[in-house]
Amino acid sequence: MTLRMILAIATASGLAAPAFADDLSFTLSNLTATELTEFYASPVGNDNWEENILAGNGLAAGGSGEVVIAGAQGCAYDLRMVFADGDVLQDNTDICATGTYTIQ
C-alpha cells in the first residue's frame, strides 16, 4: 500500500525556502517487523528535527510510500525513526544518490 506524505521544510531562521529550491521525493520502505509511527528528515546541520512526516498515519511493517520534501535544502538529511514498540533509530543519508531509503 502506498502512503503519500508531504513535508514542507523551512529554514532554521523561519524564512521561506528560496524560490529556486526543488521538491525532493523518495521512496521510504519499512522492512522491519514493527509499524513506523514517526519519521523525521532534517537537513544535516539543522539542530532541530522538523515535523513528523507521517503525521499520525504510520507506515506498516513491510510497507512503503513516497515522501516529498517540499523546498528541499540539498540532498543530505539526518533521519529519525520512531517505532510502535518504542525503538528509535537515527541515521543520515544522501537522498539524491539513491532515491530511496529502506529501514531494515
Tens of pLDDT along 49-65?
A: 989 999 889 999 999 99
Residue with cell 513535508: 7
Q: What is the mean pLDDT of the chain?
A: 83
Residue 7 has pLDDT above 60, yes or no: no
Q: Which amino acid is at 97?
A: A
CATH topology of domain 4-103: Immunoglobulin-like (2.60.40)
Task: Find the mean pLDDT for residues 76-102.
Answer: 96
Residue 3 has pLDDT above 50, yes or no: no
Report the alpha-carbon distance of residue 26 to residue 39 in Å, rounded: 13
Task: Find the mean pLDDT for residues 38-43.
Answer: 94
pTM, two decimals, is: 0.77
Pairing mode of beta strands 88-94, 76-83: antiparallel
Give the helix/strand (H/E) hosting 96. Answer: helix 95-98
Give, rounded to a whole angstrom, the gap between the first and last alpha carbons of the chain.
18
> Which three cell numbers mark 58?
504510520
